[in-house]
């Protein structure tokens, strides 16, 4: 048992927690990070990073199957599922070690164990952190405490929508499959659901996606959603929108889903495996939050614009505090929180419209800012530009002519309100529009910028030009 005193204690070492710890150290705060599992949290170990490794495999495999289109010959094409998973796990392990190195480099002490908060003895300071470790219980007394405990997959046990580790998977089980399913059912078509549907479909699984609203990827611009659905169907996916899974019945070897369709009829869908992607809920349990009076709303901790919980010295960031559930959002919140704690005067609260969102399926989807519909809901008159991938020389040369770039501008001010993209490498391209949004760029700034040729980025320029009747290549 040890008693530690520090300036800041961070509970959770995902992209929110470890980035907050690094920034705190840079600002001269003595910092401790507490983690019950592997450093890097869900993102590095069971989320962002390993899924991208899997999707890269699917991308390479798809290209191999179309080798003739590039003048190449490839015979006996196949895959080793165990090797695919092993590569993904190896990438995660490498990144986890990297976080450990960063903690040492920045002199952040790491305590491995499960944390629980207790009121300070005199009631005037931040909560005391009790950490259950392999050797007993440590006590951490910090002037400030940041909760960065993340979230987990949401389940609905009453309908049988609960992972069993074998037939019914959450994202975690879907990353380490015991077998390659012949038939896969994915419930939910947000980024997580679509990425797994894309991966397994590419490797040959007969894939069905069920989405309760009237279109897939409901957070995206409607045009992008419709384009994506068309592409996924061309790849062989079956997509049921406006549908709900009322229950799952497990048999000896398969799962039977009872699906209520948009027309009110019911049908059954049989699958070897089911992936649950129906949302996430914050890891708020067993932290002592209720006793401290921390407000929790629908599974997430409630905070203000500075990530304060309302309890003195206690803050929360990342997936724990709600949507959008993105690693880069968590990291930025960590920096905002720490810089506010350190007393910096140039800190700005989070503007969620500046956060890019990415889905790493095939095709990729990326966006930032307002959709066309959201902008109109705000009463804004808009100018909209579009440019197709087929009009771009680099896209055609890559063999990736399917896609589009869409931009939305305020007609009155020329402000870039939003950008929405689907196609090859758009998850890399989107940050150009992200910078434009952050720097309050207008259509004039973007039209006068010079984009290199031949690149995919030229489509961004053309989309802006199209919004103002100046498009060149269509």
Concatenating the DSSP letter of every residue in 338-370 gives HHHHTT-SS-----GGG--EEE-SSSEEEEEE-
How far apart (Å, rounded) are the C-alpha atoms in residues 222 and 219? 9
Long-range (24+ apart) CB contacts under 8 A made by 354-358 are 354/434, 354/437, 354/438, 355/324, 355/326, 355/328, 355/329, 356/328, 356/430, 356/431, 356/433, 356/434, 357/191, 357/219, 357/220, 357/324, 357/326, 358/191, 358/426, 358/427, 358/430
Structure tokens at 64: 């191999």
| Contact assessment for residue 163 and residue 331, using Cβ atoms and an 8 Å cutoff | no
Structure tokens at 324: 């959008």
Tell me which residue has tokens 């991208």. 52
Query: Residues with Cβ < 8 Å from 16, sequence gap 6 or more?
Result: 41, 148, 150, 317, 318, 319, 327, 330, 331, 333, 334
Among the listed residues 66, 144, 453, 461, the single catalytic one is 453
| Contact assessment for residue 433 and residue 463, using Cβ atoms and an 8 Å cutoff | no
Structure tokens at 390: 């087929």
Tell me which residue has tokens 């480099």. 105
Residue 418, classed as helix, strand or coil, is strand
Concatenating the DSSP letter of every residue in 360-415 gives -SSSEEEEEE--HHHHHHTT--EEEEEEEGGG-HHHHHHT----EEEEEEETTT-B
Nearest to 231 by CA among 203, 188, 198: 198
Question: Strand runs (DSSP E) across 200-254, as ranges?
Answer: 206-211, 238-241, 244-250
Length of the chain: 474
Q: Rounded to 5 degrees, what are φ and ψ at 209?
A: -115, 130
**How far are the Cα atoms of 347, 408, 421 from residue 466, in angstroms, in the given order?**
36, 11, 15
**What DSSP character marks residue 161?**
B
| Contact assessment for residue 255 and residue 168, using Cβ atoms and an 8 Å cutoff | yes
Active site residue 461: no
Active-site residues, by number, are 453
């Amino acid at each position: 048992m040890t008693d530690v005193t520090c300036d800041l204690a961070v509970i959770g070492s995902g992209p929110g927690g470890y980035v907050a710890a690094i920034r705190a150290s840079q600002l001269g705060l003595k910092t401790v990070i507490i983690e019950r599992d592997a450093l890097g949290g869900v993102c590095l170990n069971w989320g962002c990073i390993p899924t991208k490794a899997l999707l890269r495999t699917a991308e390479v495999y798809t290209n191999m199957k179309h080798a003739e289109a590039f003048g190449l010959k490839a015979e006996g094409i196949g895959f080793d599922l165990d090797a695919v998973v092993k590569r993904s796990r190896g990438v995660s392990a490498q990144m986890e070690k990297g976080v450990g190195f960063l903690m040492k480099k920045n002199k952040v002490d790491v305590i491995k164990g499960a944390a629980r908060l207790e009121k300070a003895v005199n009631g005037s300071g931040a909560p005391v952190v009790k950490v259950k470790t392999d050797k007993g219980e440590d006590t951490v007394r910090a002037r400030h405490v940041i909760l960065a405990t993340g979230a987990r997959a949401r389940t609905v046990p009453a309908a049988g929508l609960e992972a069993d580790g074998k037939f019914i998977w959450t994202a975690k089980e879907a990353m380490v499959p015991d077998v390659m399913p012949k038939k896969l059912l994915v419930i939910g078509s947000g980024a997580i659901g679509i990425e797994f549907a894309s991966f397994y479909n590419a490797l040959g699984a007969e894939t069905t996606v069920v989405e309760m609203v009237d279109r897939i990827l409901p957070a995206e611009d409607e045009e992008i959603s419709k384009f994506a659905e068309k592409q996924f169907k061309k790849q062989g996916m079956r997509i049921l929108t406006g549908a709900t899974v009322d229950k799952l019945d497990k048999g000896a070897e398969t799962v039977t889903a009872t699906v209520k369709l948009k027309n009110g009829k019911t049908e059954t869908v049989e699958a070897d495996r089911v992936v649950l992607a129906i949302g996430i809920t914050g890891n708020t349990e067993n932290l002592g939050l209720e006793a401290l009076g921390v407000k929790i709303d629908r599974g997430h901790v409630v905070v203000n614009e500075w990530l304060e919980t309302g309890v003195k010295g206690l803050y929360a960031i990342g997936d724990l505090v709600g949507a959008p559930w993105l690693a880069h959002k968590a990291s930025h919140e960590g920096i905002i929180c720490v810089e506010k704690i350190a007393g910096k005067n140039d800190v700005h609260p989070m503007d969620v419209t500046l956060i890019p969102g990415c889905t790493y399926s095939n095709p990729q989807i990326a966006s930032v800012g307002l959709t066309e519909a959201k902008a109109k809901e705000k009463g804004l008159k808009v100018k909209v530009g579009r440019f197709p991938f087929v009009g771009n020389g680099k896209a055609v040369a890559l063999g990736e002519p399917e896609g589009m770039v869409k931009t939305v501008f305020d007609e009155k001010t020329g402000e870039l309100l939003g950008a929405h993209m689907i196609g090859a490498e758009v998850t890399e391209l989107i940050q150009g529009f992200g910078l434009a949004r952050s720097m309050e760029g207008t259509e004039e700034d973007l039209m006068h910028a010079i984009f290199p040729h031949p690149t995919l980025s030229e489509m961004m320029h053309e989309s802006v030009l199209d919004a103002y009747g100046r498009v060149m290549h269509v």
